[in-house]
Structure 1
Amino acid sequence: MASLLSVASAAPRHQADRQLSTTQAQRMSCRTAREASTVEKLHRRTGVENRGSVLLDQAPSGALTQSFYEALSVDAHGPTTRTRNDRFAIEAPRLAVASAAQAIELSGCEASQITHVITVTCTGFRAPGVDIDLIEQLGLPATTQRTQIGFMGCHALINAFRVARGLVAAEPAACVLIASVELCSLHYQYGYDAQRIVSGSIFADGSAAAIVAGDDFNGSHHLGGLGEIAATGSCLIPGSRDAMSWLIGDHGFEMTLRPSVPELIEANLAGFLENWLAQENLQLDGIGGWAVHPGGTRILDAVEKALGLATQKLKASRDTLRRHGNMSSATLGFVLEEFNHASVPRPWVMLGFGPGLEIEVALIR
């Protein structure tokens, strides 16, 4: 059994409210008043009120500022990918260590008991990477075994749970630290392009961590935790390859998110989930908590419609989107944290979507 002992999160020190986010987007995307007006309307529709960014600084006056991105009138493309990735190398370890330290503390385990670490990100890379930072800064054993889940997108925390479940099945005495860290604000794309503006209006920075232990782990998991990672599943939606993409460009990573994504999810989700849950002797109405990745309000609406869910069922997802934005793979950790604090009854279903178009799912009993 893969026991989920704890989940924890960490957000940047400073958050931009919707007005500041809109102003920054206009500065980097617009050349006319008409374009600026459209950007403002798009930001109002996102459902996002605040977003954390590692790029924000606080001036002596108290105002939040950033100097990483020049105005469109000065720079037509923004920093190079190298410059953005260098900033990732500085900022990512701080957030990852913060969430991981909290997850270890909440689990009741000691750092010295961690046997494996799984790092998750799609917003920056280097070697030695965040996995080495975690080992060194948290005092994990030098023998800690490492796995990196990279560039899989918003559902990748589910992929990490799958890997952790497999590890503790193979090594029942294992204790696995999962740490996701995403710095989406490093990849803002310049210019007046509707898809890029929509993507830039919802993505944010954050980190989430979890501890997963096997049956023979000599620790505290027998005292409780969040439940068992009982099953995981995947489904590739046919003919959807171009609906969503995440590519490495010369000036950051480039997101494509076509308007058809919600419709594709709505048309394909229920059939897959019903069959998958049936293998676990469950039905849709038997799920206590739906931890759905809040990729945007239209995606959440599509999930509700496809599964016949009451709006209240996705409250934690909508609240996370409103308070933090879309932090890619880290976001589902924030939603699970909400479930834990609210004592949402199990079983829980984690649900995420990413390039493919791929559906990823996990069951927490």
Structure 2
Amino acid sequence: MIIDGLGTATPAHGISQSSAAEIAQTLCCDNAKQARLLSALYQRSGVRYRHSVALESSEPRFDSSVSQNGDFDTGDHRVLAMTGVAEKTQPVRQTFFAPATSPEDCGPTTAQRMELYERHAGRLGSESVLQALDRSSFNAADIDHLITVSCTGFYAPGLDVSIIKRCGLAPSVSRTHIGFMGCHGALNGLRVAESFARSNPELRILMCAVELCTLHQQYGWHPERVVSNALFADGAAALVACAAPSSSRGPQVIATGSTILPDSEDLMRWRIGDHGFQMTLSPRVPALIQRTLEPWLRDWLGKHRLTIDDIRGWAIHPGGPKILQACGDALRFRRGELSVSQSILAEYGNMSSPTVLFILERLLQEPESLPCVMLGFGPGLSIEAALVG
């Protein structure tokens, strides 16, 4: 299956990690000790900037190519990384998550959060779709099958119908939705797309992954949920695919792979609560990945007559800096092999399912980045992979 066009999109407004920590302190912390711990956690997250549909204003965007340390001035005058010019800016503003009024305050209800998801998910996904179509050999009317991926919201008529109407797809387009699979959802989407393409070489397939993770900001001092708060962000990514080479041949999805690690169901959970979706991530996850990834990946690549050393590019979902480090240690990476995943985490945060497509898009801009392996981890605990060549 050929990837004929890739597109990405983020909400209009973004926030530096230091300012996000200041907001989180008003939602999660009961005392000064917790505030200090939260601030330190946010600093160690590997994230420097993220976008959210809940924001009503922005801070200057982090630019890793200019900034030396990835940080913003914490005073009233913030430095625009793109220009180096100090400029007076208003504090970032959001009103959706009001400061906690008591330890029992859990913030907006799930229904309120889903209203915001319905308002923004289709618009954001459509932005990435239109970019992917613009970069492909096909028009919206050429698309035969639409695959949508999301784990952060539900409504009906849903994301698929919104994209069809906003982007001008034919009303007869076939639809498949992949829901609630977490950070590896886009890799499952690629598997479905590849299966459709193999079954019918004439199909033109569009896949769109949209996540509004920040709608599920959790209140109160729950250590595992505070970790999730520090990482998650909003974004969308789309790709156009076809079975046969097009006029502008792109990278090819050669194979996909999947495994569920034994006795790991309690290590990563994603539950629907009365006040948002509740993500729990055990600190034991990185050690399990480090222990199990290399033998599974070696066997899977071996079925395709490749070794780990044959892989020239790595698009690894940045579930957090410790997960990336565990992958690097398990696969004995040389310096720089995680740099693209680390950069996307720093500039955008963990956007769940679209994130690996942001990484792939940037990786493909580098020379000699193929063959590439895409990796994602999700509830199960499961490993999902795609081989791109």
> TM bucket by the smaller chain?
over 0.9
Aligned residue number for residue 92 of structure 2: 64
Aligned residue number for residue 263 of structure 2: 239
Residue 360 (structure 1) shift: 0.3
SS of structure 1 residue aligned to 2:252: strand
Aligned residue number for residue 231 of structure 2: 202
Aligned residue number for residue 73 of structure 1: 101
2: distance between equivalents of 1:343 and 1:145?
Answer: 36
Please give the per-residue CA displacement for 1:75-94, whole angstroms capped at 9, x wherever unaligned. Answer: 71011111101110001111
Query: Aligned AA for 2:28?
Result: S
The aligned runs of 1:24-103 (5 Å cut-off) are 24-58=23-57, 62-73=90-101, 76-103=105-132
Residue 108 (structure 1) shift: 2.3
Could you say if the C-alpha distance between residues 344 and 295 of structure 1 is closer, same or farther in structure 2, counting changes exceeding 3 Å? farther
Q: CA RMSD in A?
A: 1.3
Runs of 5+ unmatched residues, structure 1: none
Please give the per-residue CA displacement for 1:153-174, whole angstroms capped at 9, x wherever unaligned. Answer: 0001100000000001111100
Could you say if the C-alpha distance between residues 23 and 234 of structure 1 is closer, same or farther in structure 2, counting changes exceeding 3 Å? same
Aligned residue number for residue 180 of structure 2: 151
Aligned 8 A contact 1:304 1:311 in 2:
no
Query: Aligned AA for 2:93?
Result: T
Residue 61 (structure 1) shift: 6.0
Residue 18 (structure 1) shift: 1.3
Runs of 5+ unmatched residues, structure 2: 59-87
1: distance between equivalents of 2:134 and 2:122?
Answer: 18
Percent identity of paired positions between Structure 1 and Structure 2: 42
SS of structure 2 residue aligned to 1:341: coil
Aligned 8 A contact 1:157 1:180 in 2:
yes
Aligned 8 A contact 2:255 2:388 in 1:
yes
1: distance between equivalents of 2:317 and 2:194?
Answer: 20
Aligned residue number for residue 138 of structure 1: 167
SS of structure 1 residue aligned to 2:337: helix
Query: Aligned AA for 2:121?
Result: A
Aligned 8 A contact 2:286 2:326 in 1:
yes
2: distance between equivalents of 1:46 and 1:179?
Answer: 27
SS of structure 2 residue aligned to 1:9: strand
2: distance between equivalents of 1:58 and 1:184?
Answer: 18
2: distance between equivalents of 1:136 and 1:73?
Answer: 41
1: distance between equivalents of 2:11 and 2:117?
Answer: 13
Instruction: Report the more deviating stretch, 61-70 or 165-174.
Output: 61-70
Aligned residue number for residue 285 of structure 2: 261
Q: Which runs of 4+ in 1 moved over 3 A?
A: 59-62
Give 1 or 2: higher helix fraction.
1
TM-score normalised by structure 2 residue count? 0.90
Aligned residue number for residue 388 of structure 2: 364
Aligned residue number for residue 184 of structure 1: 213
TM-score normalised by structure 1 residue count? 0.96
1: distance between equivalents of 2:371 and 2:47?
Answer: 28
Query: Aligned AA for 1:13?
Result: A
Please give the per-residue CA displacement for 1:181-214, whole angstroms capped at 9, x wherever unaligned. Answer: 0000000110011111111001000000011101
1: distance between equivalents of 2:219 and 2:203?
Answer: 45
The aligned runs of 1:277-292 (5 Å cut-off) are 277-292=301-316
Aligned residue number for residue 164 of structure 1: 193
1: distance between equivalents of 2:112 and 2:195?
Answer: 36
2: distance between equivalents of 1:240 and 1:338?
Answer: 32
Residue 8 (structure 1) shift: 1.3
2: distance between equivalents of 1:43 and 1:192?
Answer: 14
Aligned 8 A contact 2:14 2:57 in 1:
no
Aligned 8 A contact 2:18 2:43 in 1:
no
Residue 73 (structure 1) shift: 2.0
Residue 33 (structure 1) shift: 1.0
Aligned 8 A contact 2:181 2:378 in 1:
yes
Query: How many residues align structurally?
Result: 359
